[in-house]
Chains A and B, each alone.
Chain A
Amino acid sequence: MIYGRRYRWTEMGLLLFPAAFLVVALLELELAQTASTPLTRNTLPPVDTFIPAIGLIVALAITHVLLNIFAPDSDQTLLPIAGTLASIGVIMALRIGASPGFDVPSLGAKQLAWVIVGLGFCVLTVILTRDLRWVRNNPFIWAATGIALIGITLVNGLRHFSTNTPSRDVLAIGPGGFSFQPSELFKISLVIFFSVYLSENQALLSTGNILSGAVMRKLLPNLLVLGIALVIAVVVRELGLALLIFGLVLALTYATTNRLSYVLGGLAIFTVGAVIAFSVFSYTRVRLDIVVNAFDPNKATNEGYQIVQGLIAFASGGVFGSGLGLGHPTIVPASNTDYIAAAFGEEFGFAGLLALLGLFMMLVFRGLLVAMRSRDRINQLMAVGLTSVFALQTLVILAGNLKLMPLTGVPLPFVAYGGSSVIANFIIIGFLLRLSEDRT
């Protein structure tokens, strides 16, 4: 196809939607606070209500202009979809931060800052990957980076194994109180390494006898990562992270070889691991018990409190929701992170949740389209893997929120509060934008 160096009008048109969303949402948030008084000229919100919206709109516009310069032929829908999801995240953080009794009133401002920093990282990624060769030529550097990153998490997990610290996947940097989750960047290096590694061994893996020694040797990194995933599930107790790593490796192996037997084999290993963990470690039984018997009168006010309150929040939202600013999202513990979907569902209702799911679907659809159009196998696999990160995270956390599986602390991409997650997701968008330029 012939793509000239045309201005990215489609992207600009699409970016008007998140801009409108931000302005309308802030207006609604402000008006909801004085909902009982009639609307007169005096109760109209002051202009500085809209400062967060203006900040994010300007950041999106600058990103748009920079993409016009550095990646003019890249996909024009990825930034607007991610921007809309990030706008929802900022609005929800502002809304939860402003609710009475919440301990971090500046939550919205912080999330806004993270999104703007994330957009910066997105552009930086696009610029640095102008020549993808340095990314692809040194797969083992990515493997080493990944092992170092996951090592931090593992060491933290071992150090706090006996205590019940909720999140062990954290690295504190310096005295400023900054901390980041190494696993967020681990996902990216994992995808890059496996894309290069698997495509190098594609012929053998997709035609060789699976049980032969040659194929098994080539599968060693896969097995190693599956082992790491099991250790994470057991030692770090981040079941969500383990599932994500597991799913990523299986998705990439399947996309490379088109053989279902690898997926079935992986699932068999997972089942065996899960059964062993279930019988050896008591906390896995406790976790499952919470999900199964959440409504037990003794549990609903203790261990099951979060999950029950989350379900009540979803239910009280009904079809059309209570309206932004009119619900009580802070009743659910961790409604700014793990339970952001419940907070969103309460105030936007089923209709809003469906739209949110639709947006994630579009993100995954466009990501896989990048893979389908790509001519190069490594690029294809990278696009598949990076898109799977979004898909798997959304699936795992929403299933946890809806009591379909044990709740695990995976952030809902772009929407949940959290700096590392937002930055990592925007880096992925940067990669996908660059990969989308390689098309037939």
Chain B
Amino acid sequence: MDTYSVLLVLRILLVAILYLVILRVVSVARREMKMVQEEERAVRRLHNIVGYLTVENVGSIKNTAGPRALHRRDRLDIKEITTIGRDPANDIMLESTFVSGYHTRVFFKDGSLWVEDLNSHNGTFVSLLRKDGNYQGLERITKETAVTPKTILQVGDVIFKFDEFKF
């Protein structure tokens, strides 16, 4: 047998092995990522979490320390019904003079998230998605309004953003 043709086969095999290591590592990483996602989904199901709100601006709230503290970039869970207001009985408490006792309600209905103002003094504002995909400026809402990810929500002087969520 010609040694050169054997060497050629071995050569291809050698480089192929190196590429296989890379491919295998990538597939291991993908499997791990999938496991993490499934884990998150399970946690969401367990706690009835239907979405997330990220704090963009804490405004003039006083609860910046302690067990119910809020900070910029905090991610808050939205359950099937989540209330926001100054009263401690709310799911999300905002200790600000611009926020009414029971200010805003976020809830899940017909496969999407809705925002409703609870007759607050200073109003609830959202940025609405226009037909061309851009967001309009903040608008005061008067009735139940469906929201999509990345929508901005303003409660008093506190600003939130709806995060990507999957159901």
CA distance A276 to B25 in the complex (A): 45
Partner of A27, one of B2, B10, B17, B28: B10
Tell me which of B3, B25, B36, B39 contacts A31 (CB under 8 A): B3
In the complex, whether B8 has a CB less than 8 A from a CB of chain A is yes
Q: Which residues of A contact B167 (CB under 8 A)?
A: none
- Choose among B4, B11, B18 the residue that contacts A355 (Cβ–Cβ < 8 A): B18
**Looking at the complex, which one of A10, A39, A356 makes contact with B18 (CB distance below 8 Å)?**
A356
Contact B18 A21 (CB under 8 A): yes
Chain B residues near A76 (CB-CB < 8 A)? 28
Binds B, one of A97-105, A142-150, A319-327, A397-405: A319-327
Asked if B89 is an interface residue, CB under 8 A from chain A, the answer is no
Q: How far is the CA of A1 from the CA of B40 in the complex (A)?
A: 9
Q: Does A80 have its Cβ within 8 Å of any Cβ on chain B? A: yes
Q: Which among A25, A326, A365, A369 is the interface contact of B14 at CB below 8 angstroms?
A: A25
Interface: B46 (CB within 8 A)? no
Task: Provide the residues of chain B in CB contact with A365, threshold 8 Å.
Answer: 25, 29
A366 partner residues in chain B, CB cutoff 8 A: 25, 29
By a CB distance below 8 angstroms, the chain A residues around B36 are: 1
A17 touches B11 (CB 8 A): no
Given contacts A77-B25, A365-B29, are A28 and B18 in contact (CB under 8 A)? no
Which residue of A36, A39, A349, A356 is within 8 Å of B6 (Cβ)?
Answer: A39
Residues of B within 8 A of A31 (CB): 3, 6-7, 10
State the interface size on chain B (CB cutoff 8 A). Answer: 26
| Interface residues of A, count at CB 8 A | 46
* Interface residue B20 (Cβ < 8 Å from any Cβ of A): yes
- With a cutoff of 8 Å between Cβ atoms, the chain B residues found around residue A32 in the complex are 7
For B28, list chain A residues within 8 Å (CB).
10, 14, 76-77
* Complex Cα spacing A24 to B9, Å: 10
Chain A residues touching B, majority SS: helix
Are B17 and A28 in touch, CB under 8 angstroms? no
Verify if A348 is at the interface (C-beta below 8 Å from B).
yes
A183 to B141, CA, bound (A): 64
Contact indicator B22/A359 (Cβ below 8 Å)? yes
Instruction: Please give, as numbers and ranges, the residues of chain B lying within 8 Å of A1 by CB-CB distance.
Output: 35-36, 39
Residues of A within 8 A of B29 (CB): 77, 365-366, 369
Of the candidates A34, A76, A351, A355, the one having the most CB atoms from chain B within 10 angstroms of its own CB is: A355
A-B contact pairs, 7 of them (CB 8 A): A1-B36, A10-B28, A36-B3, A38-B1, A81-B21, A323-B8, A349-B15
The 7 A-B pairs with the shortest beta carbon distances in the complex, nearest first, are A355-B18, A28-B10, A358-B22, A39-B1, A17-B21, A362-B25, A39-B3
**Which A residues fall within an 8 A CB radius of B?**
1, 10, 13-14, 17-18, 20-21, 24-25, 27-28, 31-32, 34-40, 43, 76-77, 80-81, 84, 88, 320-321, 323-324, 326, 348-349, 351-352, 355-356, 358-359, 361-362, 365-366, 369
Q: A28-B14, A40-B1, A326-B7 are in contact. List 5 more A-B contacts (CB 8 A).
A: A17-B17, A35-B4, A80-B25, A358-B22, A359-B22
